[in-house]
Each structure stands twice: as C-alpha cells, then as structure tokens.
Amino acid sequence: MRQLKHHEVKTTGKQYPIWLLCPDWRDPRNVGSAFRLAEAAGLAGLVLTGSTPRPPHAKIEKTARSTVRSVPHMFTNDVTTYLRSKVAEGAYVLALEITDESTSLLEFQLPAAVSSGQRELILIAGAEDHGVSQEILALCAASAHLPMHGVNTSMNVAVALGAGVYLLLSQYQEA
C-alpha cells in the first residue's frame, strides 16, 4: 500500500443540492474548513449569516486554501427571511443540533425527495458557543445530532459538520 499523489486521486465530480448555513460563527478557521468540506463533498455552497466571518479574510483563505474561489457562497444578515424563502421554494431545512426532538444521525432518514436530489437541503450548524438559535430551530423541518459517547456534549463545529455531511451523503441515491 502507498499513499496516492494528488494527481493520482480520482474524483467523481458529483454535485449535491446541499447548502451549508453557518449562522454567527466566530472562528474564521471554521469557516475555512466549511469551504474545504463543501468543495470536497461536492456541495452546492455556503450561506454565511449574521456575524460569521466572510471572505476576503486571511484566516479563512489559509484554511480554505483555494476553495474560496471555487465554492459558491453568499452572505445574508436576515437568516429568518432567507430560510422562510427557501422553505417556500421547497427546501428541506435540517439543524445539526442536539434538541429534545433530534434523532441520531446514525438513525436519521432524509425524506425521499431530498435523498433523490429533487429537493434542496439546507444544513445548519450553529455557532461555536451556543449552537443553533431557537429562532432558527423554529424554521427547521427536523434536527439531527451526532451521538456523544464521551464526557463532552458537543464538538468543534467544523468537525461535526464534516461528520454530519458525509453521513447524510451516504443516504443520497446514485444518479
């Protein structure tokens, strides 16, 4: 076994109708990680809201590498209006958050219209210090969480988002 060089790695070029919504994140390195994740996973892009740092930003660009130039992204101050309009367009809004109604991502099932790619998915990972706000949770169709087996009840937002995205991608049907 040997590690492959970058030019030897075969990518699929698949694209998924998934947008990552990052509300009020504080650490620009987490934002850069979200850009890298979106590019690697073939996601539609990022929605940065509220006080979340946005490009151009040296720390975002250092972590994101060149993906800031290739991953579609937008910014909005009014996250509730944005989410209401996306829901009206048929998007499925999912919070990556432990709530009194959340399901483990190991058991969570996307609706068929989402996993078939017919409906857009907006995946929300909340701010590092307080998670997804109640105001945003009220606009979500569901919430799902990563099971916590240790003493801590949370993990880094970029790490959680990476695990969550790939668990959700495993449910998407092949085209």
DSSP string, 46-109: EEEETT---SS-HHHHHHHTTHHHHS-EEEES-HHHHHHHHHHTT-EEEEES--TT-EETTT--
Q: What CATH number is attached to the domain comprising 37?
A: 3.40.1280.10
Residue 168 tokens, joined: 């959700």
> Is 38 inside any structural domain?
yes
Q: What are phi and psi of 172, to 5 degrees?
A: -70, 135
Q: Which tens digit of pLDDT belongs to each residue from 3-42?
A: 999 899 999 989 999 999 999 999 999 999 999 999 999 9
Q: What are phi and psi of 21, to 5 degrees?
A: -105, 125
> Is 3 inside any structural domain?
no
With CA atoms as reference, report the closest residue to 43 among 72, 22, 63: 72
Q: What are phi and psi of 122, to 5 degrees?
A: -110, 110
Task: Return d(Cα 38, Cα 19) in angstroms, integer.
Answer: 8
> Is 10 inside any structural domain?
no
Q: Domain limits at 104?
A: 21-169
Task: Return d(Cα 31, Cα 22) in angstroms, integer.
Answer: 8
> Is 40 inside any structural domain?
yes
Average confidence score pLDDT of the chain = 96
What is the number of domains present in the chain? 1
Whether residue 175 has pLDDT greater than 70: no
Q: What are phi and psi of 93, to 5 degrees?
A: -105, 120
> Is 175 inside any structural domain?
no
- What value does the mean pLDDT take over residues 105-133? 95
CA torsion sign for 66, 128, 161, 42 is negative
> Is 5 inside any structural domain?
no
Q: Which tens digit of pLDDT belongs to each residue from 44-66?
A: 999 999 999 999 999 999 999 99
> Is 111 inside any structural domain?
yes
- What value does the mean pLDDT take over residues 86-99? 97
Residue 50 tokens, joined: 């509220």
> Is 14 inside any structural domain?
no
Residue 173 pLDDT:
80
For the stretch 139-149, what's the b/e string if a residue is b when 16 or more beta carbons lie within 10 angstroms of its beta carbon?
A: bbebbbbbeee
Residue 128 pLDDT:
87
Distance of CA 175 to the CA centre of its chain: 22
